[in-house]
């Protein structure tokens, strides 16, 4: 390599041109997107009978609530209606065995998930 960081022989002697790259602030040319779902909270954790779920949504419509075990096997599903803004729901989990689970809310395009522990 020569003093300019180029590999010798890559550019013929005397033919070196220079150019400038101007990096612009990416926020000045784009719009920052808000996530469809955010602020997912689940409680109590660990849970015995009913898992409470709260989330903020930028969308309204139906979501699928899916609970999976550690192996990824879906053990419970249901549909819920959500609105734009803060949403709260209760999901019964008393029929699940004790263990670690994942709850996922999905509308077909966007999803959000959280882990919880089921006791007893």
Place of tokens 């522990």: 117
Q: Measure the CA angle with vertex 117, ends 92 and 47; round to 5°.
A: 45
Would you give the distance in Å from CA 48 to the centre of its chain? 26
pTM score: 0.71
pLDDT of residue 10: 54
Distance of alpha carbon 86 from alpha carbon 95, whole angstroms? 28
Give the tens place of pLDDT for each residue, 35-91.
888 999 999 999 999 999 999 999 999 999 999 999 999 999 999 999 999 999 999
54 against 32, higher pLDDT = 54
């Amino acid at each position: 390599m020569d003093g300019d960081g180029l590999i010798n022989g890559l550019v013929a002697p005397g033919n070196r041109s220079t150019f400038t790259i101007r990096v612009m602030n990416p926020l000045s040319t784009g719009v920052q997107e808000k996530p469809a779902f955010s602020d997912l909270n689940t409680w109590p954790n660990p849970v015995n009978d009913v898992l409470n779920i709260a989330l903020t949504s930028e969308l309204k419509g139906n979501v699928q609530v899916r609970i999976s075990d550690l192996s990824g096997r879906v053990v419970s599903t249901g549909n819920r209606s959500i609105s734009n803004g803060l949403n709260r729901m209760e999901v019964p989990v008393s029929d699940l065995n004790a263990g670690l689970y994942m709850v996922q809310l999905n509308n077909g395009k966007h999803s959000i998930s959280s882990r919880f522990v089921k006791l007893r």
